[in-house]
Structure 1
Amino acid sequence: MSAFQSAYQEEQQRLQEVIVEIDRQLERLRGIPVYTGHDFTEQVLEAGREEKRQALAKSLPEPYFGRLDFQENGVGERKRLYIGKVGLDKEEAGEYPLVIDWRAPVASLFYSFTGGTEPASFEAPEGIIEGLVYLKRNVVIRKQILERVSDTYDRESGGPAVSDEFLVYRLGENKDHRLRDIVSTIQAEQDQIIRAARNTALIIQGVAGSGKTTVALHRLAYLLYQYKEQVSADKMIIFAPNLMFLDYISDVLPELGVGDIQQRTFADWAAEQLDIHVTSQDRLETMAQWFEGDPRLGTPDVDGHTSGRYKGSLELMKLIQTCVETLEAGALPGDDFSPWDGAVLPRETIAEWYFKEYRPYPLAKRKERVLTRIHRWVEMELKKSPSAAVMKERKKKAAQREKSYAGKWPKFEPLALYKMLFGAVKSSGLWPEELTSAIPDSVKSATRSDLKQNVVREEDLPGLLYFHCLLNDIASDQRFDHIVIDEAQDFSPFQVAVLDMYVRGHSFTILGDLSQGIHAYRGVHAWEEMSSLFSEENTAYYALTRSYRSTMEIIEFANRVLENGVRSDLLAVPVFRSGDAVRLIPYSDPAMREEDIKQAMRALLEKEYRTVAVLTRTLQEAKALHAALNPEWPELNLIDGSEQTYQGGLSILPVYLSKGFEFDAVVMADADTNHYADKAWDAKLMYVGCTRALHELWLLHGTHVPRYVDAEPSEIVAKGWPPA
């Protein structure tokens, strides 16, 4: 019997033993009647039993995915540790766990150990545990069937150290319409991020396909496991670019046994806090205007005061803070308050309340407290009335004067003050005009025009939300234990600074890729714009440079686009997974463009890929091409950004909406100079499109292609159609 056959037989026997044990425990627990009474102790016991039932049922089809043979230094025998998504204990006292949860301290060895004969270690509650790893084994189990056994390290065989063979096998699988967990293939550098300390602002620069989104989701699952007494799932939130992307990633956390984590777009969440209306259509129109060259939003390759860049800047944040401080100083009316003739509450007394007694409160609450205090004073003065008739008359007059006095105060409403800031309504002398003169005229003009029509754009939300935070309390139930920001290169520093007011302990996972910063009208151009918001001790930066998504040929081609078009050094290092050459395919004739795209789709669909996408330069072109292709492929999904779910299969969409997604094969339509200029921003768009492809990338084009595409030919690029 060969070594492989022996290992397979050993694991087959182990799997059957585990399945029998899970079935036995599940049968016993299901045999216990569900408690529905009101006894608290019994309710707690029943909750524990139900949690165990669900864990056992979840683990039964695939109980574990890895094995690690480990011996602690100077402590007993070698242990066989089986690692799974869910930890399972044997019911016999003193027995080692049947399966160890992947988030447990000892399980970190499975991810951090990269071979060699030296001792390995992991951090446990009792301190650093050191020992020797004898075997690291990956197993694939599906529906209780052992499909694959792969030893990536065996100390006693004398073979090589850990290889990428199992990783390449998993990466080579075709994808469906959902992002999946990577528990069985987490790499050492990813595991380090997942297990980083909680009260830290983690900033992750990850190349396309580095798994940064998935790593962030696994980090949430880890934090809930490791800090279960300090954090809760309903106090965590993920901010993602759009609802369709949230749907795309929606299966990962449930697969990891985690629920109740909020998943929102920043625009939807902020509008809810402000109780204002910002439609997805408004956001899509702004995006389309940018990508189709609306001059009001600025020029992609200019770093100046584009409207979005300024309104997402700390410069505006400081201006708003100064405005609120000025507002605070001048908010109190200048007169004494007299509820009726002969009764006077001196302004000095009211000022004492406003400036001293209620100073710890934000302005809106402070105003409310002062007006309530004035009303109480009126009630006490009314009791001194000489008769009931006089009291009635005074009470009526006091109500009118209280209302009139309250009207002399500024309205501490974020939208009203924001409109004043940009001149959409008169400021009524609340702050001097020179205070707002710092706003660039072009920004002020465009914003004033929008606000006069009551149009609030996504880029206005940080300023509005900051006004709201300065004027009102942030309630305890509004604060988060942890915030994940995906595609953070498209967030502004102002957005993150405001979110920091809503999270405890600066607990962030901020992830993105500057090379995919195609929303330059509002995003950051360097991660220092984010890290400067936090103290050095509260910040950690990680760079993920390995790409696990695409073949070597696709990654090397995409790197060349970055090098030649962006002059960027944020290049991806591919996992050794080779595939077909990237294809540059000229249209046979401009009039045959649609037919050539159809031919490309037919050729790729013959290969039985699950997901194929056609990427266009603009949404208008996507709609037109969808109409042309739809008769042949009725199942072709047009993605315009308004969708709430991602259907998978065949898709057509503008390249700027493809970020974050991956497809088995990609056809980039119109990859020529008529659609992609020889500029850094256009090269980033091209890079985004290229890096969506897992297995095959075809670029169809007109007469001339951009310089960053038409590089020296190599073995990874083929020109023209593949042979029949």
Structure 2
Amino acid sequence: MDENHDEWQQEEKRIENIKQILSEKKNELMENNKELMGDILELRQGFWDDVTVNMDEPDEAIETYASIKQQAELLSERERSYGQFHKLVKLYARQEDSPYFGRIDFQEEDGELESIYIGIGSLMDKNKEDFLIYDWRAPVSSMYYDYAPGPVQYETPVGEVTGEMKLKRQFIIRQGSLQGMFDTGLTIGDELLQHVLGGNATSHMKSIVATIQKEQNQIIRYDKNKMLIVQGAAGSGKTSAAMQRIAYLLYRYRTSISADQILLFSPNHMFISYVASVLPELGEDNMRQVTFQEYAAGRLDRDFELESPFEQLEYLLSDRDSQRLERRVAAIRFKSALDYKNLLDDYVKGLTEKGMKFRNITFRGQTIVRADEIHRYFYKLTGRIPNRIESVKGWLLDQLDAFQLKEQDKDWPVEEAAFLAKHE
């Protein structure tokens, strides 16, 4: 669009105001961080000074245990707060460079017109009453990716909100300076796309949330089923959508999911390095990444000897025994064929009728749930094996809760507390 001088000045003025607020918030956090770090160091150095250790009597041992637990929880809370503050400081620093990339003017039915600015993270005003910037993963932000100006709607945890989008505007902001501004329709404007993609190539993937397309947004925010399979040609944006989906899930379910609960299988270590910076750029901790070979080795190495692709290739190239090599190649071909997959499918199908192995669940030499009890419970269930395993898991947790209630009033917890040592 032809840039209107007055609107350009208004947007520049707003950016300066946002930068001022970000600077104040960042400085305040850094000061709080210094105080918090001092508290953490003081707690670590004087941990045992605030704990009274007395194991002479059972009651005093219990009091000692409670005192240690209270001190440890206080230290843990301080360390968690420091980690959150540190993440916010880094987010504010990134927002100072480019606070937002989009704006939509939305009028809810029977409501007032509201200008919604969208960036990599949320920002509230000084009084913490209104949002100055909405996180790109917030429900209201989905309209930016899914609609052109006109009738719109978006889903919230409490239901659907409908209204009209009066304006959709995109920005190019670098080093806190407005470099481009244009109104657009449904698709991301070519100017923005070219500017974002036109930078110098790097060995790390960029987190380009400003250029998410409608179809990618549907993948990122999909939550109707637990399983989601995405198919696309090379270069179609599957990896970008996957990383952005992880960031979205960490935001959407932040009270129940953390980064250390997510596992990403990567084809190789070069790929791991390539995508390593995406989540930190979006203000999230990195999830664990492994190759399938590493994952399998971690799970099976105790019972099986695993051969890496490199070891296999070296064997095939170096073995001079033609008959042994022929057998080996035939085995590899068989395990790569559809017949072998069918055999595995038949085996798994057979496990729905019999063959699952379980072990006793024990604690302190006492059997809580016997293997044959778990076996009977599993085979009383119907349906697919993963669904049965989930049901067995819930049942076992109920058994453990019942066991805990019986054990908590016994003498052994007090006896165990008596062996706690004082470590300087």
Query: Which category of TM-score, normalised to the shorter sequence, fits these structures?
Result: 0.5 to 0.7
2:17 alignment counterpart? 17
Which of 289, 293, 315 matches 2:343? Answer: 315
Superposed displacement of residue 164, structure 1:
4.1
What amino acid sits opposite 1:29 in the alignment?
Answer: L
Which of 122, 133, 139 matches 1:99? Answer: 133
Contact 1:235/1:261 (<8 A) preserved: yes
Query: Secondary structure, in 3 states, of the residue corresponding to 2:169?
Result: strand
Query: Secondary structure, in 3 states, of the residue corresponding to 2:184?
Result: strand
Which of 311, 314, 321 matches 1:282? Answer: 311
1:139 alignment counterpart? 171
Q: How does 1:51-90 map to 2 (within 5 A)?
A: 51-76=87-112, 78-90=113-125
2:47 alignment counterpart? none
- Deviation digits for residues 9-31 of structure 1, max 9, x if unmatched? 33222111111110011112222
- Deviation digits for residues 5-54 of structure 1, max 9, x if unmatched? 44433322211111111001111222231231457397265555444333
Which of 234, 254, 270 matches 2:280? Answer: 254
- Deviation digits for residues 213-243 of structure 1, max 9, x if unmatched? 1101111111111112222211111112111
Contact 1:297/1:307 (<8 A) preserved: no
1:129 alignment counterpart? 161
Contact 1:116/1:161 (<8 A) preserved: no
Structure 2, gaps ≥5 residues long: 44-70, 319-324, 358-368, 379-383, 392-424
Q: CA RMSD in A?
A: 3.9
Once the two structures are aligned, what percentage of the paired residues are identical? 32
CA–CA distance in 1 between the matches of 2:143 and 2:344? 47
Contact 2:149/2:165 (<8 A) preserved: no
1:343 alignment counterpart? none
2:236 alignment counterpart? 210
Which of 237, 242, 259 matches 1:233? Answer: 259
Q: Does 1:8 align with 2:17?
A: no
Worse-matched range after superposition: 161-170 or 267-276: 161-170
Bigger helix fraction: 2
Contact 2:196/2:208 (<8 A) preserved: no
Q: How does 1:176-191 map to 2 (within 5 A)?
A: 176-191=202-217
2:144 alignment counterpart? 110
Structure 1 361/54 Cα, relative in aligned 2: closer, same or farther at 3 Å?
Answer: same
Contact 2:123/2:132 (<8 A) preserved: yes
CA–CA distance in 1 between the matches of 2:290 and 2:165? 42
Structure 1 168/260 Cα, relative in aligned 2: closer, same or farther at 3 Å?
Answer: closer
CA–CA distance in 2 between the matches of 1:71 and 1:277? 60
CA–CA distance in 2 between the matches of 1:288 and 1:60? 56
1:31 alignment counterpart? 31
What amino acid sits opposite 1:278 in the alignment?
Answer: E
Superposed displacement of residue 323, structure 1:
9.1
Q: How does 1:694-713 map to 2 (within 5 A)?
A: none
Q: Does 1:359 align with 2:368?
A: no
Superposed displacement of residue 140, structure 1:
1.9
Question: TM-score of the superposition, structure 2-length normalised?
Answer: 0.66
- Deviation digits for residues 175-196 of structure 1, max 9, x if unmatched? 2222111200000110001001
CA–CA distance in 1 between the matches of 2:335 and 2:202? 39
1:650 alignment counterpart? none
What amino acid sits opposite 1:236 in the alignment?
Answer: I
Structure 1 323/235 Cα, relative in aligned 2: closer, same or farther at 3 Å?
Answer: closer
Contact 1:310/1:316 (<8 A) preserved: no
2:270 alignment counterpart? 244
Query: Secondary structure, in 3 states, of the residue corresponding to 1:272?
Result: helix
What amino acid sits opposite 1:22 in the alignment?
Answer: L
Query: Secondary structure, in 3 states, of the residue corresponding to 1:210?
Result: coil
Superposed displacement of residue 266, structure 1:
0.8
Q: Does 1:152 align with 2:184?
A: yes
CA–CA distance in 2 between the matches of 1:287 and 1:202? 37
CA–CA distance in 2 between the matches of 1:279 and 1:200? 31
Query: Secondary structure, in 3 states, of the residue corresponding to 1:179?
Result: coil
Query: Secondary structure, in 3 states, of the residue corresponding to 1:176?
Result: coil
What amino acid sits opposite 2:105 in the alignment?
Answer: D
What amino acid sits opposite 2:308 in the alignment?
Answer: T
1:271 alignment counterpart? 297
CA–CA distance in 1 between the matches of 2:177 and 2:132? 18
Query: Secondary structure, in 3 states, of the residue corresponding to 2:105?
Result: strand
Query: Secondary structure, in 3 states, of the residue corresponding to 2:17?
Result: helix
Q: How does 1:268-347 map to 2 (within 5 A)?
A: 268-275=294-301, 276-279=305-308, 281-282=310-311, 306-310=334-338, 313-319=341-347
Structure 1 358/180 Cα, relative in aligned 2: closer, same or farther at 3 Å?
Answer: same
Contact 1:268/1:278 (<8 A) preserved: no
Contact 1:111/1:187 (<8 A) preserved: yes
1:412 alignment counterpart? none
Contact 2:117/2:132 (<8 A) preserved: yes
CA–CA distance in 1 between the matches of 2:152 and 2:28? 39
Structure 1 256/297 Cα, relative in aligned 2: closer, same or farther at 3 Å?
Answer: farther
CA–CA distance in 1 between the matches of 2:89 and 2:226? 35
- Deviation digits for residues 229-260 of structure 1, max 9, x if unmatched? 22221111111211111111111111112224
Contact 1:61/1:143 (<8 A) preserved: yes
Contact 1:61/1:141 (<8 A) preserved: yes
CA–CA distance in 2 between the matches of 1:261 and 1:161? 31
Query: Secondary structure, in 3 states, of the residue corresponding to 1:3?
Result: coil
**Larger RCO (CA under 8 A, 6+ residues apart):** 1
- Deviation digits for residues 115-171 of structure 1, max 9, x if unmatched? 253x10111122111111122122122222322223214xxxxxx987544334434
Question: TM-score of the superposition, structure 1-length normalised?
Answer: 0.40
CA–CA distance in 1 between the matches of 2:339 and 2:208? 38
Structure 1 261/46 Cα, relative in aligned 2: closer, same or farther at 3 Å?
Answer: closer
Which of 227, 249, 253 matches 1:223? Answer: 249
What amino acid sits opposite 2:131 in the alignment?
Answer: P
Query: Secondary structure, in 3 states, of the residue corresponding to 2:163?
Result: strand
What amino acid sits opposite 2:97 in the alignment?
Answer: P
What amino acid sits opposite 1:279 in the alignment?
Answer: S
- Deviation digits for residues 561-598 of structure 1, max 9, x if unmatched? xxxxxxxxxxxxxxxxxxxxxxxxxxxxxxxxxxxxxx
What amino acid sits opposite 2:371 in the alignment?
Answer: Y
What amino acid sits opposite 2:341 in the alignment?
Answer: S
Q: How does 1:479-494 map to 2 (within 5 A)?
A: none
CA–CA distance in 1 between the matches of 2:292 and 2:223? 25
Superposed displacement of residue 92, structure 1:
0.9
CA–CA distance in 1 between the matches of 2:88 and 2:26? 8
- Deviation digits for residues 371-413 of structure 1, max 9, x if unmatched? xxxxxxxxxxxxxxxxxxxxxxxxxxxxxxxxxxxxxxxxxxx
Superposed displacement of residue 3, structure 1:
3.2
